[in-house]
């Protein structure tokens, strides 16, 4: 029974014990150390899920390849419209935000990301991306959720936040701990009638010491103080800062504006997750895709500018992914159908900017689909090991090599 | 924890030093229910401890209530909006004449955690909810046998297909790890073998069925026992394992008694009761709720009030009519929406209820509950709900209200802050009392249970 | 009012109800008349003497005084004619007895608050020596006027009594009542003499009695200024008079077009409202919500420039009616809102179809294709991007057919939407019973019928695929050629062992085609019924006078709601957090009250110089 007990305590209460320990350190000191030291423990990852299957070929366009123009008879992006990266590929003209980030050395592009035996079902492929499935385990656990459950790096309060409405993404699926879903910064705003009076009274009340033997009361006492301070900071940002105005008024723009404010509020959160849906463009793709990409590029560019101004750019990385790319040949409805490998993007002040790995090329196809050149788990391993400082081997169930994506 | 387990779980009796009073009645109702109004607590004090505990277990009075809810829940579940069903359950918790039964059901729901979003069929969720309620104060085996063939559970755990050639290990794994034994009491081989017992168990058209052709008729070895077991027998073998009583006792104690870690030897007297009563929860719960430990200072106030307890407690305690859909959204943001557990393990609870976002959310929710619109008070006004009479100063009613709400006394300075708000000049009485209760919600003591 | 203006009003009145059908014939003379009207009202500004002449005449006719008492900047003005009649009408309404007989109302009438109110009324009655109803009738006999200034939040009330003596006694009684119920040591009001009347100043309000007039305001200075204006109007024989709301062009325009038979008149001065920055979205002229644009784009167009909006309100035993008027030159409507107005503002809804037992019907002129295709001009960039995504998804759903161009663009702008309670097959009794709903439109190109049908079939196929994955019942498609129309529809079939939810049986999606008509309905039966009604029409392209017309019928609504009583009760319990008994009585009260709802009609018309919105709420008098 002893082993059971120890295991039980470790899994169920290990994190709680850590939290309570962190509360025995005065929160002010804790906050101060967070602001100054820029070690791996302070780094933040923002994941943007592009739901529906982004057309990679029209995102990073192989404009130097004749086959591209043969297969994309109505949807091809003209050679002169492409935002050129090198003499073979360039960005979709709506990705002005991304080309700006490239110029500023803040964007890495990993080409040809996929996995063996591609699955063309939205759900099943998305599940793979979300879970990076380990063998002999139920499929409820996300790759990020496992980090929250298992990594001491994420043992603190609010380790991850899903920002948005609706169901929590499987990627954040945990077994023991709970991940917060927040759909508005207003959730941090006190709504209590006369707020001034309330906070004055409570602040005065919290200044009174409680019975030091009551550890649980001590925990809540600390948490209440921290909550009030966080709320005040976020409210302050909400009411005075121009952040929201500097972001595009799109849905993704608003989400990233909020995340930028959360990052700046000093919240200990390390992982943020948002979704950007609508990429399943089977018909009339051109206008829809262009809108989606400009929303994506403009929002991330605004985020990086904002983070830079507040001094968080070097500790933040933004990762985009989509469940799959689309078929090389467009269909009869001026759209594209489910495909395989596609590029993904990592933005941030500490990324190794530019193209990583080769474009899969349009000559060697697998039943009309691109062949992947980078396994997505190599990207995950890189992000975990090199960025968040979390050992990726137990999380991914196997050791995957890192890519050279960060300048740290 | 240096307490002798035998004495800890032996029966407590009120005496002169530890009298049966309003504060103790409130402790019982906060843990074994969702709080009660001061007037109801007075009745309990008058009726005495034994009668009050007996009444928790008497569920006959719920018949009329159940009937009044039946057609309603039918309609709400056919809307196929799992959110509507969650609102309905919250209303049940608010209105139920047998709150202890609802609390037990909530416990089992967290134990057999199943998420309505994934199940995506309100009727299956309703069926599971009824199953849990039917057995909540009954016996373990029929409940586990029922849950093992429960459509919502099997859909939630991706176990709707169990073929002879490819046994699905999901349910077998969770049955042992989460429902009965806890980690460390079984091997990967036990999972594989148990999964073979469940072959042929399928869900089709939201109904469970046994597909004989897909059942593996061969010999299995589960937890050291050999035989040509079927699913039912597999479940029974797991339940009969000695680790089960310990595991369940600890979960009950952590839900009803203390957030502190409790070890096996300490829980053994409760585990023993479970084993000896064939896992009869009305017997085990009676032992727990009447134990010296439950009534000791080690336990009173030693839990974090979970969001459902906090909200439903205030609603029941003050007789508030509140929009359950609104409450549902608030509870979701606080991470505690019934029918929507965060993962297969249910709610972790304890200190995890409180963080920078949820603390603010808790205060805001209390504010909304007591500040009138869209809520109304059954008593007509908040002032009447807290038990004031014309012209009374807070000194006449506040102590009684706090005794009913808080497990431990406030600091004297906290109390005078509250008094100052309640008795200030200007503003209507309801406004002042609402401000006072909101301020109370900002104090750490309020969040203890 | 001057003879000239009254005759103008009458002329207008005699034409308006004839409506756009006559516009075709009367267009030229009507336009001339409009021109005259415009010149006449403009001349009030251009030639001050002319307008003064009008004002002094109207000032001498005391019964017309009202708007003259309020300042030019008044944002909202309300006049109630014969206020006592309205009260009397309500009290004598055939609905009163049944409503008072309702349990909840009975309880309300016995509540302490109501009894106290009754007591106060009785006290004043005994002092005045008259029953309250006849008293109110004569106290308000000369009209009730209310003016409100949005910027300063000042409100002024002016009521003219038929009986000066009665007013004196009543005012005395009210002041006496205020004095006796005062518990403090300071007097609650100060009385002074002014212009031969009495002014009583309270802490937050001032009231005055000047001859037959009773004045009140929440602002002392405003009340004094009202008293000054009144004094001047009643004593001065000169034509010179202070400028007032009544001298402004927007007000005169609205006042002249009012319905003199109505019980009430409301005027809102839009320019000050726009300047005040209130309700910005309303006056912005555009919206970033496509659905709002689709339904109300034309109204937003008018609201950004119109100088006023006015309304007449009439109440009688059979109905409550309101007529709202918003000036707008329809022939100047912009091209990007042609989807709403039609060319030169001449877009007209089709005539409603007669189908027995309808819950309601909406007929409207909306060119969906042109609305969708003008999105770049109508909406900001991010909304256009979202619509482009929608276009892509919907095109996929419609089997690759271009949604904007071919689906929406393939429809005539004359649209109808019909709703009717449906009946269910033997043994099928879903807990929630949705009414059937159908959209009726005409195809620009009748040859596209096939394409629409194929899209419909592939849509059903998709649904089936999805349902089969979820283990739900599936739709079987049938396609038949009936007498005069073609019907394609699908029906769910409960399989033998099906024990699941019956909600899906609310749907048996169908399409029917007759001539160039296309009917898309949630049930086959309804599609059939509508197709037959259209088939039997003499002229199935006839249009109405309206841009949009909405009809609702009380009895079928009640019937459809009553069929869902259990579900309404459940929702009421959850939403109000109450037990079953309380929810039950609340829902039953609602259903009972619906017995008295005859129906409602909303008629929105675009006329050459204004938008008109007629709203009618008809009462029913159920035999019981």
Asked if the model's pLDDT at residue A106 lies above 50, the reply is: yes
Would you call C542 helix, strand, or coil by DSSP?
coil
- Categorise residue A105: left if φ over 0, alpha if ψ from -120 to 50, beta otherwise: left
pLDDT at A25: 37
| Count of H-run helices and E-run strands, chain A | 14, 12
For A61-70, B162-171, C123-132, C348-357, which range has the lowest pLDDT when averaged over its residues? C123-132
pLDDT, tens only, C534-571: 999 988 889 999 999 999 999 999 999 999 999 999 99
Three-state SS letters, A377-397: HHHHHHHHHHHHCCCHHHHHC
Give yes or no for a contact between A259 and A184, defined as CB atoms under 8 angstroms apart.
no
Give yes or no for a contact between B162 and B214, defined as CB atoms under 8 angstroms apart.
yes
DSSP state of A154: G
CA dihedral C503, C505, C509, C510 (to 10 degrees): -160
Q: Do B87 and C470 touch (CB under 8 A)?
A: no
pLDDT at C474: 85
pLDDT, tens only, C395-445: 888 888 889 988 999 999 999 999 999 999 888 888 889 999 999 999 999
How far is Cα B420 from Cα B393, in angstroms, rounded to an integer? Answer: 10
Would you call A161 helix, strand, or coil by DSSP?
strand
pLDDT at A100: 96
Give yes or no for a contact between C297 and C599, defined as CB atoms under 8 angstroms apart.
no
Q: Which two tokens stand for residue A81?
A: 């419209």
pLDDT at C40: 36
How far is Cα C487 from Cα C512, in angstroms, rounded to an integer? Answer: 4
Would you call A322 helix, strand, or coil by DSSP?
strand
Q: Do C388 and A288 touch (CB under 8 A)?
A: yes
Closest CA to B217 of B143, B167, B268: B167
Sign of the Cα pseudo-torsion (A281, A286, A290, A291, in order):
negative
Question: Would you call B18 exposed, middle or buried from its count of C-beta atoms within 10 A (0-12, 13-18, 19+)?
Answer: middle
Contacts with C380 from chain A: Cβ below 8 Å = 249
Phi first, then psi: give them for residue C309, nearest 5 degrees: -135, 140
DSSP letters along B205-271, please? TTEEEE-GGG---S-EEETTEEE---HHHHHHHHHHSHHHHHHHHHHHHHHHT-SS---HHHHHHHH
- The whole-number average pLDDT for the span C113-124 is 81
User: Average pLDDT by consecutive 10-residue portion of chain B (449 residues)?
Assistant: 86 95 96 94 96 91 85 82 93 95 97 93 93 96 97 93 90 95 93 95 90 95 96 96 96 95 93 97 97 95 96 96 95 95 91 91 96 82 87 87 94 95 88 95 96
DSSP letters along C133-188, please? HHHHHHHTTT-EEEEEETTTTEEEEEEE-S-HHHHHHHHHHHHHHHHHT--SSS-S
The whole-chain average pLDDT of chain A stands at 86
Q: Quick check: A250 contacting C, CB < 8 Å? A: yes
Q: Which two tokens stand for residue C421?
A: 């309670």
Size of interface A-B (CB pairs under 8 A): 168
pLDDT at B199: 95
Residue C117 neighbours by CB distance under 10 Å = 11
Q: Which two tokens stand for residue A79?
A: 């050679």
Strand partners, C475: C492
Contacts with A295 from chain C: Cβ below 8 Å = 382, 385
Q: Do B351 and A219 touch (CB under 8 A)?
A: yes
> C64 pLDDT band (50/70/90 cuts)?
low
Phi first, then psi: give them for residue A317, nearest 5 degrees: -130, 140
How far is Cα B367 from Cα B268, in angstroms, rounded to an integer? Answer: 42
How far is Cα C187 from Cα C200, in angstroms, rounded to an integer? Answer: 11
- First and final CA of chain B: distance in angstroms? 20
Q: Quick check: B71 contacting C, CB < 8 Å? A: yes
Asked if the model's pLDDT at residue C101 lies above 80, the reply is: no
How far is Cα B138 from Cα B57, in angstroms, rounded to an integer? Answer: 11
pLDDT at C10: 37
> A237 pLDDT band (50/70/90 cuts)?
confident
Which of B 345-404 lie inside 8 A of C, CB atoms?
Answer: 375
pLDDT, tens only, A20-60: 333 333 333 333 333 333 445 589 999 999 999 999 999 99
How far is Cα A224 from Cα B439, in angstroms, rounded to an integer? Answer: 12
pLDDT at C238: 62
pLDDT at A15: 36
Cα distances (Å, whole numbers) of residue A190 to A193, B288, B363, B371: 9, 38, 8, 14
Select from B408, B438, B445 the Cβ nearest to the Cβ of A198: B438
- The whole-number average pLDDT for the span C244-249 is 89
Q: Which two tokens stand for residue C296?
A: 């109300």
How far is Cα C475 from Cα C494, in angstroms, rounded to an integer? Answer: 10
> A242 pLDDT band (50/70/90 cuts)?
low
Largest CA-CA distance found in chain A, in angstroms, rounded: 77
Cβ neighbours for C54, distance < 8 A, ≥ 6 positions apart: C2, C5, C44
How far is Cα B399 from Cα A299, in angstroms, rounded to an integer? Answer: 54
DSSP state of A116: S
Q: Which two tokens stand for residue C41?
A: 């009202």
pLDDT at C183: 64
pLDDT, tens only, C264-317: 999 999 988 888 887 888 899 999 999 999 999 999 999 999 999 999 999 888
Asked if the model's pLDDT at residue C624 lies above 90, the reply is: no
pLDDT at C22: 36
Closest CA to A184 of A140, A234, A250: A234
| Strands (DSSP E) found in C449-532 | 475-481, 486-492, 510-514, 517-521
Length of chain B: 449
Q: Does an H or E element contain C514, and which?
A: strand C510-514
Q: Quick check: A237 contacting B, CB < 8 Å? A: no
Would you call C194 helix, strand, or coil by DSSP?
strand
Largest CA-CA distance found in chain C, in angstroms, rounded: 92
Would you call C583 helix, strand, or coil by DSSP?
helix
Interface test with B, best of C505, C570, C584, C587 (most B CBs within 10 A): C570
How far is Cα B129 from Cα B337, in angstroms, rounded to an integer? Answer: 14
Q: In angstroms, what separates the C-alpha of A299 from chain C's closest C-alpha? A: 12
Would you call C61 helix, strand, or coil by DSSP?
coil
Higher local confidence (pLDDT), A1 or B81: B81
Q: Do A250 and C385 touch (CB under 8 A)?
A: yes
Q: Quick check: B120 contacting C, CB < 8 Å? A: yes
Asked if the model's pLDDT at residue C41 lies above 70, the reply is: no
Residue C104 neighbours by CB distance under 10 Å = 14
How far is Cα B148 from Cα B205, in angstroms, rounded to an integer? Answer: 17
Closest CA to A275 of A251, A311, A301: A251
Residue B42 neighbours by CB distance under 10 Å = 16
Residue C498 neighbours by CB distance under 10 Å = 16
Closest CA to B272 of B256, B303, B249, B298: B249
Q: Quick check: B15 contacting A, CB < 8 Å? A: no
Which range is most confident: A10-19, B168-177, C42-51, C89-98?
B168-177
Q: Quick check: A291 contacting C, CB < 8 Å? A: yes
Select from C432, C569, C577 the Cβ nearest to the Cβ of B91: C577
Cα distances (Å, whole numbers) of residue C192 to B135, B184, C215: 80, 93, 14
Q: Which two tokens stand for residue C64?
A: 């017309």
Select from C502, C569, C578 the Cβ nearest to the Cβ of B321: C578
Q: Do B358 and A180 touch (CB under 8 A)?
A: yes
Would you call C577 helix, strand, or coil by DSSP?
coil
Q: In angstroms, what separates the C-alpha of C620 from chain B's closest C-alpha? A: 31
pLDDT, tens only, C131-177: 888 888 888 888 899 999 988 889 999 999 988 999 998 888 888 87
Closest CA to B119 of B151, B92, B142: B151
Q: Do B75 and C431 touch (CB under 8 A)?
A: yes
For A205-214, B56-65, B422-431, C494-503, which range has the lowest pLDDT when averaged over its residues? C494-503
- The whole-number average pLDDT for the span C2-8 is 37
DSSP state of B371: S
pLDDT at A63: 95
How far is Cα B137 from Cα B143, in angstroms, rounded to an integer? Answer: 10
Residue of chain A whose Cα is closest to the Cα of C401: A333
- First and final CA of chain C: distance in angstroms? 47
The whole-chain average pLDDT of chain C stands at 83
Q: HSE (CB half, 13 Å, CA atoms) of B227?
A: 11
pLDDT at B208: 94
Q: How far from the centroid of its chain's Cα atoms is residue A359's Cα?
A: 24
Q: Do B74 and C470 touch (CB under 8 A)?
A: no
Give yes or no for a contact between B73 and B126, defined as CB atoms under 8 angstroms apart.
yes
Q: Which two tokens stand for residue A106?
A: 């803040």
pLDDT at A243: 64
């Amino acid at each position: 029974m002893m082993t059971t007990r120890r295991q039980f305590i470790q899994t169920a209460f290990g994190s709680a014990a850590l939290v309570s320990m962190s509360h025995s350190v005065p929160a002010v000191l804790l906050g101060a150390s967070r602001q100054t030291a820029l070690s791996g423990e302070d780094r933040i990852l923002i994941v943007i899920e592009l739901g529906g299957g982004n057309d990679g070929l029209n995102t990073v366009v192989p404009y130097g390849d004749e086959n591209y123009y043969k297969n994309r008879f109505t949807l091809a992006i003209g050679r002169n419209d492409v935002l050129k990266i090198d003499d073979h590929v360039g960005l979709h003209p709506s990705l002005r935000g991304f080309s700006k980030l490239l110029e500023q050395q803040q964007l890495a592009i990993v080409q040809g990301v996929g996995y063996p035996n591609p699955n063309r079902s939205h759900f099943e492929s998305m599940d793979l991306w979300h879970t990076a499935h380990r063998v002999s385990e139920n499929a409820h656990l996300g790759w990020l959720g496992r980090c929250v459950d298992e990594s001491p790096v994420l043992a603190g309060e609010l380790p991850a936040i899903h920002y948005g409405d609706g169901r929590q993404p499987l990627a954040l699926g945990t077994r023991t701990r709970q991940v917060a879903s927040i759909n508005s910064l207003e959730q941090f705003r006190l709504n209590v009638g006369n707020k001034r009076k309330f906070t004055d009274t409570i602040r005065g009340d919290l200044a009174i010491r409680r019975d030091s033997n009551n550890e649980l009361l001590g925990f809540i006492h600390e948490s209440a103080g921290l909550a009030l301070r966080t709320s005040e900071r976020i409210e302050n940002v909400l009411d005075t800062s121009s952040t929201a105005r500097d972001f595009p008024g799109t849905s993704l723009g608003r989400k990233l504006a909020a995340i930028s404010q959360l990052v700046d509020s000093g919240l200990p959160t390390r992982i943020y997750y948002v979704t950007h849906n609508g990429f399943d463009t089977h018909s009339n793709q051109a206008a829809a895709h262009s809108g989606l990409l400009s929303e994506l590029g403009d929002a991330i560019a605004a985020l990086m500018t904002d983070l830079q101004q507040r001094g968080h750019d070097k500790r933040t990385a933004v990762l985009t992914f989509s469940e799959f790319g689309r078929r090389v040949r467009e269909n009869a409805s001026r759209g594209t159908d489910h495909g395989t490998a596609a590029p993904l993007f990592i933005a941030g002040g500490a990324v190794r900017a530019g193209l990583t790995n080769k474009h899969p090329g349009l000559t060697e196809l697998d039943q009309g689909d691109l062949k992947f050149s980078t396994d997505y788990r190599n990207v995950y391993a890189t992000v975990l090991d090199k960025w968040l400082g979390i050992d990726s081997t137990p999380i991914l169930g196997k050791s995957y090599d890192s890519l050279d994506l960060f300048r740290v | 924890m240096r307490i002798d387990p035998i004495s800890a779980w032996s029966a407590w009796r009120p005496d002169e030093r530890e009298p049966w009073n309003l504060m103790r009645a409130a402790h019982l109702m906060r843990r074994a229910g969702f709080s009660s109004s001061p007037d109801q607590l007075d009745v309990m004090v008058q009726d005495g401890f034994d009668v009050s505990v007996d009444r928790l277990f008497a569920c006959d009075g719920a018949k009329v209530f159940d009937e009044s809810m039946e057609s309603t829940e039918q309609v709400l579940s056919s809307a196929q909006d799992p959110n509507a069903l969650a609102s309905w359950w919250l209303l049940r918790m608010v209105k139920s004449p047998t709150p202890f039964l609802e609390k037990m059901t909530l416990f089992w729901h967290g134990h057999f955690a199943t998420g309505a979003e994934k199940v995506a069929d309100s009727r299956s969720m309703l069926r599971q909810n009824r199953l849990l309620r039917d057995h909540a104060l009954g016996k373990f085996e029929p409940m586990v046998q029922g849950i093992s063939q429960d459509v919502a559970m099997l859909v939630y755990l991706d176990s709707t297909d169990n073929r002879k050639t490819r046994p699905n290990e999901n349910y077998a794994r969770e049955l042992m790890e989460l429902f009965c034994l806890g980690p460390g009491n079984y091997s990967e081989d036990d999972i594989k073998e148990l999964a073979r017992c469940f072959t042929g168990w399928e869900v089709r058209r939201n109904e469970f069925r046994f597909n004989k052709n897909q059942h593996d008729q061969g010999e299995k070895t589960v937890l050291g026992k050999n035989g040509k077991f079927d699913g039912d027998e597999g479940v029974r073998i797991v339940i009969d394992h000695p680790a089960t009583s310990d595991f369940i006792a600890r979960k009950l104690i952590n839900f009803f008694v203390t957030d502190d870690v409790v070890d096996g030897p300490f829980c053994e007297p409760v585990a023993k009761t479970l084993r000896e009563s064939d896992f009869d929860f009305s017997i085990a719960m009676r032992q727990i709720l009447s134990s010296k430990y439950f009534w000791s200072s080690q336990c009173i106030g030693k839990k974090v009030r979970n969001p459902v307890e906090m909200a439903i407690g205030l609603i029941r305690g003050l007789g508030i009519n509140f929009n359950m859909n609104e409450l549902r959204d608030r509870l979701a943001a606080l991470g505690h929406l019934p029918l929507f557990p965060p993962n297969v393990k249910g709610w972790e609870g304890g200190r995890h209820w409180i963080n920078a976002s949820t603390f603010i959310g808790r205060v805001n929710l209390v504010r909304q509950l007591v500040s009138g619109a869209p809520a109304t008070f059954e008593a007509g006004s908040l002032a009447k709900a807290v038990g004031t009479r014309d012209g009374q100063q807070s000194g006449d009613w506040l102590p009684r209200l706090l005794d009913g709400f808080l497990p431990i006394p406030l600091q004297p300075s906290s109390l005078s802050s509250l008094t100052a708000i309640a008795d200030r000049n200007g503003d209507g009485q309801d406004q002042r009392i609402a401000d006072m209760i909101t301020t109370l919600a900002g104090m750490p003591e309020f969040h203890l249970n | 009012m001057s003879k000239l203006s009254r005759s103008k009003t009458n002329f207008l009145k005699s034409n308006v109800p004839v409506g756009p059908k006559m516009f075709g014939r009367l267009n030229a003379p009507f336009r001339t008349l409009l021109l005259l009207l415009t010149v006449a009202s403009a001349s009030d500004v251009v030639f001050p003497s002319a307008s003064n002449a009008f004002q002094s005449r109207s000032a001498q006719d005391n019964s017309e005084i009202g708007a003259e008492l309020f300042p030019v900047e008044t944002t909202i003005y309300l006049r109630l004619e014969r206020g006592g009649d309205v009260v009397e009408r309500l009290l004598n309404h055939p609905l009163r007895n049944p409503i008072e007989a309702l349990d909840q109302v009975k309880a309300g009438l016995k509540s302490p608050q109501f009894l106290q109110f009754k007591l106060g009324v009785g006290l004043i009655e005994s002092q005045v020596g008259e029953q309250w109803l006849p008293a109110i009738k004569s106290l308000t006999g000369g009209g009730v006027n209310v003016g409100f200034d949005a910027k300063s939040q000042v409100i002024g009330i002016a009521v003219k009594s038929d009986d000066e003596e009665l007013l004196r006694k009543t005012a005395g009684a009210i002041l006496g009542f205020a004095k006796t119920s005062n518990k403090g040591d300071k007097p609650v009001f100060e009385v002074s003499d002014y212009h031969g009347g009495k002014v009583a100043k309270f802490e937050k309000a001032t009231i005055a009695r000047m001859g037959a007039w009773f004045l009140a305001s929440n602002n002392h200075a405003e009340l004094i200024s009202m008293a000054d204006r009144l004094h001047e109007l009643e004593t001065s024989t000169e034509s010179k008079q202070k400028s007032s709301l009544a001298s402004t062009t927007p007000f005169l325009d609205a006042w002249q077009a009012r319905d003199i038979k109505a019980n009430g008149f409301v005027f809102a001065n839009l320019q000050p409202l726009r300047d005040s920055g209130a309700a910005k979205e309303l006056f912005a002229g555009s919206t970033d919500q496509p659905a709002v644009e689709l339904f109300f784009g034309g109204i937003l167009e008018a609201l950004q420039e119109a100088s006023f909006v006015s309304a007449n309100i009439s109440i009688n035993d059979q109905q409550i009616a309101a007529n709202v008027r918003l000036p707008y030159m329809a022939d100047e409507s912009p091209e990007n809102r042609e989807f709403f107005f039609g060319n030169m503002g001449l877009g007209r809804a089709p005539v409603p179809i007669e189908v027995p037992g309808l819950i309601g019907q909406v007929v409207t002129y909306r060119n969906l294709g042109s609305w969708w295709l003008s999105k770049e001009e109508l909406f900001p960039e991010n909304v256009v991007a979202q619509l482009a995504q929608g276009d892509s998804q919907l095109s996929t759903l419609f089997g690759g057919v271009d949604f904007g161009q071919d689906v929406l663009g393939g429809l005539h702008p004359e649209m109808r939407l019909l709703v009717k309670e449906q009946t269910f097959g033997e043994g099928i009794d879903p807990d929630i019973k949705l009414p059937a709903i159908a959209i009726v439109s005409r195809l620009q190109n009748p040859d596209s019928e096939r394409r629409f049908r194929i899209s419909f079939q592939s849509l059903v196929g998709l649904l089936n695929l999805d349902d089969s994955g979820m283990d739900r019942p599936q739709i079987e498609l049938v396609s038949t050629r009936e007498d005069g129309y073609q019907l394609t529809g699908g029906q769910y079939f409960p399989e033998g062992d099906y024990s699941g939810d019956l909600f899906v049986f609310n749907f048996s999606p169908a399409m029917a085609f007759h001539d160039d008509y296309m009917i898309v309905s949630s049930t086959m039966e309804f599609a059939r019924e509508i197709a037959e009604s259209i088939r039997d029409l003499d002229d199935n392209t006839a249009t109405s006078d309206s841009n949009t017309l909405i009809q609702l019928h009380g009895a079928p609504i009640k019937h459809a709601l009553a069929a869902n009583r259990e579900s309404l009760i459940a929702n009421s319990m959850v939403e109000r957090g109450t037990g079953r008994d309380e929810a039950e009585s609340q829902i039953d009260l609602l259903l009972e009250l619906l017995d008295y709802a005859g129906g409602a009609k909303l008629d929105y018309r675009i006329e050459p110089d204004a938008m008109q919105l007629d709203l009618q709420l008809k009462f029913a008098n159920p035999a019981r």
